[in-house]
């Protein structure tokens, strides 16, 4: 799995930190606040219960006590329910009947032993506190004081605190995201500079003054680009020198052998044979050097322009003694493609030469169209290319097995490598397959637009 990016990690760390902090703060606040509120509420409940108990006690102190009447005189409001346990019987106001289940037995025991007790319980109508006050003549007065309001307050408090904690977490994440963007912004200029350099602008440099903290990065980046451009310049100059130093003597060789060739009839047989050999090798050497220099020259961009490829293909065929009828154009006789003419002419020429050398001559040159590419196919009737060789033949200096068996070393071993190079320069590719019916089929695909 891919590791998440730096920004995500920093933002997540900020969020986690904010969450831990705000959650613990919220939990502590909740705890303190709720305890204080509950304690206050319990004190109130106790005080009210005392008051009620003294009222009831007063009502019971008469000869014939009217217990329901005494209970009715209590001002209990809506939250409190009063109960009286006297001589094994429970008394309550009519509205409060059936509440005896809410009195915990343990509390009742304590009250019967004469102790004032208080306990929090949960009733059908929410949490409440039960206060028990022992009265003389083995009576117990109980008040069930509902804490629903307090409970709701606490719930609201909990909700608010949770929301605050969540908000703080989100803010933490956002802050982390923002901060990393600020911190990483100088790296954008580094990225931009690197892109420019990739695009061929070797003069792109970073200004170390803009971001003092990143000075080490900018300095080493600039040093790297200096080195790179120096090396490229060295390579370019070397290639140019090699080119010049090879081309000049070749010019002399070429011109001098053409003179020898022209006056061959004045030479004796032995010398004429030597001149034939010399002339052939000079031509081949010349082609080899031209191909090598073409391969070494990597920096030329593809110059696309409309090219009448059908016309060009017929010319290339005629120049090699092939009838123009071998050229077939899908869907008509004309085809105009937007490609680099020089490169395409070399692709075609080299494939035709290859077919002649290893496949007994091209029997078909097809110009077709795929949805997003121009397609050139060259067929021959030779032995074909074995599947295990189908990638290697596009490497440099790989010549056909059959060719070496025949001792024919006419080719430079660079022709197909150049075809591949030109195809790739267009953003396309070249492949070789079996032609139905025997022989090889070379297929070149050139995308319609530069990728």
Partner 1 sequence: MEQVLLIEDDDRIRLSLTLGLEDEGYTVRGAATAEEGLREQRRAPADTVLVDLMLPGVDGYECIRQLRARDSVPIVVVSARDDTHDIVAALEAGADDYVVKPVAVKELSARLRALRRRARASTVAAVPALVFDDLEIRPEAGEVTVRGEAVAVTRTEFRLLCELAEHPGRVLSRAQLLERVWEYAYGDERLVDVHVGRLRQKIEDDPAAPRHLVTVRGMGYKLQR
Q: What is the DSSP letter of 210?
A: S
The interface mask with partner 1, positions 186-205, x = CB under 8 A, is --------------------
* Rounded Cα–Cα distance for residues 14 and 170 (Å): 9
- Count other C-beta atoms under 10 Å from residue 441's C-beta: 19
H or E element, residue 292: helix 269-296
Nearest of 145, 141, 144, 143 to residue 57 by alpha carbon: 141
Q: Interface with partner 1 includes 385 (CB under 8 A)?
A: no
Looking at the DSSP bridge assignments, the partners of residue 134 are: 140
Number of residues that bind partner 1 (CB under 8 A): 31
Q: Interface with partner 1 includes 266 (CB under 8 A)?
A: no
The residue length of the chain stands at 451
* Rounded Cα–Cα distance for residues 148 and 128 (Å): 7
Positions in 323-362 near partner 1 (CB under 8 A)? 338, 341-342, 345
Phi, psi of 128 (to 5 degrees): -155, 170
**Chain centre distance of CA 243:** 45
Which among 52-60, 191-199, 238-246, 438-446 is the span making contact with partner 1, rule CB under 8 A?
A: 238-246
3-state helix, strand, coil in the chain (%, to 5): 60, 15, 25
Q: What is the DSSP letter of 439?
A: S
Q: Interface with partner 1 includes 262 (CB under 8 A)?
A: yes
**In the set 67, 179, 184, 250, which binds partner 1 (CB under 8 A)?**
250
Please identify, using beta-carbon distances, which residue of 129 and 446 lies nearer to partner 1.
446
Positions in 271-310 near partner 1 (CB under 8 A)? 286, 289, 293, 300, 305-308
* Rounded Cα–Cα distance for residues 130 and 146 (Å): 9
Please identify, using beta-carbon distances, which residue of 172 and 349 lies nearer to partner 1.
349
Please identify, using beta-carbon distances, which residue of 160 and 319 lies nearer to partner 1.
319
Please identify, using beta-carbon distances, which residue of 17 and 324 lies nearer to partner 1.
324
Q: Interface with partner 1 includes 253 (CB under 8 A)?
A: yes
Residue 10: half-sphere exposure toward Cβ, Cα within 13 Å: 14
Residue with tokens 């060739």: 261
Which among 4-12, 82-90, 250-258, 397-405 is the span making contact with partner 1, rule CB under 8 A?
A: 250-258
Q: CB of residue 442 vs partner 1: minimum separation in angstroms?
A: 22
Please identify, using beta-carbon distances, which residue of 250 and 329 lies nearer to partner 1.
250
Q: CB of residue 305 vs partner 1: minimum separation in angstroms?
A: 7
Binding site for partner 1 (CB under 8 A): 240, 243-244, 247-256, 258-259, 262-263, 286, 289, 293, 300, 305-308, 312, 315, 338, 341-342, 345
């Amino acid at each position: 799995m891919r590791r998440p990016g730096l920004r995500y990690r920093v933002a997540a760390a900020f969020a986690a930190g904010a969450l831990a902090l705000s959650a613990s703060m919220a939990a502590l606040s909740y705890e303190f606040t709720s305890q204080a509120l509950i304690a206050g509420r319990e004190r109130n409940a106790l005080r009210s219960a005392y008051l009620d108990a003294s009222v009831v006690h007063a009502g019971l102190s008469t000869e014939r006590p009217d217990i329901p009447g005494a209970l009715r005189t209590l001002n209990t409001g809506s939250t409190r329910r009063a109960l009286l346990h006297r001589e094994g019987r429970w008394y309550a106001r009519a509205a409060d009947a059936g509440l005896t289940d809410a009195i915990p037995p343990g509390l009742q025991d304590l009250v019967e032993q004469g102790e004032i007790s208080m306990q929090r319980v949960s009733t059908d109508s929410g949490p409440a506190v039960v206060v028990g006050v022992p009265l003389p003549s083995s009576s117990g007065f109980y008040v069930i004081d509902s804490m629903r309001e307090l409970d709701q307050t606490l719930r609201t408090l909990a909700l608010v605190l949770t929301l605050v904690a969540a908000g703080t977490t989100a803010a933490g994440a956002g802050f982390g995201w923002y901060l990393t963007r600020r911190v990483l912004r100088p790296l954008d200029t580094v990225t931009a500079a690197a892109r420019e350099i990739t695009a061929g602008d070797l003069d792109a440099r970073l200004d170390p003054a803009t971001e003092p903290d990143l000075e080490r990065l900018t300095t080493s980046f600039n040093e790297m680009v200096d080195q790179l451009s120096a090396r490229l310049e060295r390579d370019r100059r070397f290639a140019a020198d090699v080119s010049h130093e090879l081309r000049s003597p070749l010019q002399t060789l070429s011109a001098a052998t053409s003179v020898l060739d022209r006056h061959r009839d004045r030479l004796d047989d032995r010398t004429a044979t030597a001149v034939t050999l010399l002339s052939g090798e000079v031509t081949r050497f010349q082609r080899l050097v031209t191909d090598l220099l073409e391969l070494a020259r990597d920096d030329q961009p593809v110059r696309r322009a409309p090219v009448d490829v059908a016309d060009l293909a017929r010319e290339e065929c005629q120049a090699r003694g092939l009838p123009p009828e071998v050229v077939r154009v899908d869907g008509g006789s004309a085809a105009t493609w937007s490609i680099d003419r020089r490169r395409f002419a070399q692709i075609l020429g080299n494939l035709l030469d290859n077919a002649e050398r290893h496949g007994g001559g091209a029997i078909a040159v097809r110009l077709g169209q795929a949805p997003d590419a121009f397609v050139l196919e060259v067929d021959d009737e030779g032995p074909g290319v074995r599947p295990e060789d189908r990638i290697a033949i596009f490497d440099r200096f790989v010549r056909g097995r059959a060719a070496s068996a025949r001792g024919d070393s006419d080719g430079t071993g660079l022709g197909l490598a150049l075809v591949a190079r030109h195809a790739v320069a267009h953003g396309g590719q070249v492949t070789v397959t079996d032609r139905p019916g025997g022989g090889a089929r070379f297929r070149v695909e050139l995308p319609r637009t530069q990728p």
